[in-house]
Amino acid sequence: MNFLNKIFQKKQTPIQTTLTITSDNGFHLRPIAKFVNEVKQFNAHITIIAHDEEVTATQVPNILALSLEKDDSFTLQCEGEEAQEASAYLSDFFIKLMNDDVVIKEIIQEETKYEAISFRGKTIARGVAIAPLTQYETKETSIRESNLSIKDAIKITKEELYNLYQANKTREEAQIFLATTALLCRHLQKS
């Protein structure tokens, strides 16, 4: 019986839904992290197809790499035991994500003259940063042996970030913890 179920599942046609990015911000890190978190709840193989590429819907960096901007569309494809439920729920969840996404205000680069030497950088936050210039050198150093593997270190970090997210869920900044956790999960899969 189990063998027949597997054959039947393989022959099922994937459920495909076309979704359109409506947020002025595009499909960026925070909503992607939230979306990926919801995808993981389903016993189904879920992919996103856009720009002639297909990526697994649990891999934040690969979804980011699709560079989905406002008015772009993608196909959500679900296969497997919970494909129908996943397609319906994730489609509704995605529409809610787009509706709830807050417009990121453009930061205008301000011109200011300083008496000291200054460097112009890319503005990523409001305000002025003033600090002494520092020259960095790189040199090789030996690394102390540790019993902790990189895989274990990533797992511990992932757990700590997720706990920070849970403790700060109501704050907008908490989404950064969730997004970083998703990025670490990707690294953990590679190692």
The domain spans of the chain are: 2-100, 150-190
Superfamily of domain 2-100, CATH level 4: HPr-like (3.30.1340.10)
How does pLDDT run across 118-131, given as a tens digit for each residue? 666 666 555 666 66
Q: Which residues of the chain have pLDDT under 50?
A: 191
187 an active-site residue? Answer: no
CA distance 20 to 97: 12
What predicted TM-score, i.e. pTM, was given to this entire model?
A: 0.60
Amino acid 10: pLDDT: 54
b/e string for 100-117 if b means 16 or more Cβ within 10 A?
ebeeeeeeeeeeeeeeee
- Spot the catalytic one: 28, 45, 51, 187: 28
Q: Which residue has the tokens 């950088």?
A: 121
Q: How many CA atoms lie within 13 A of 25 on its CB side?
A: 17
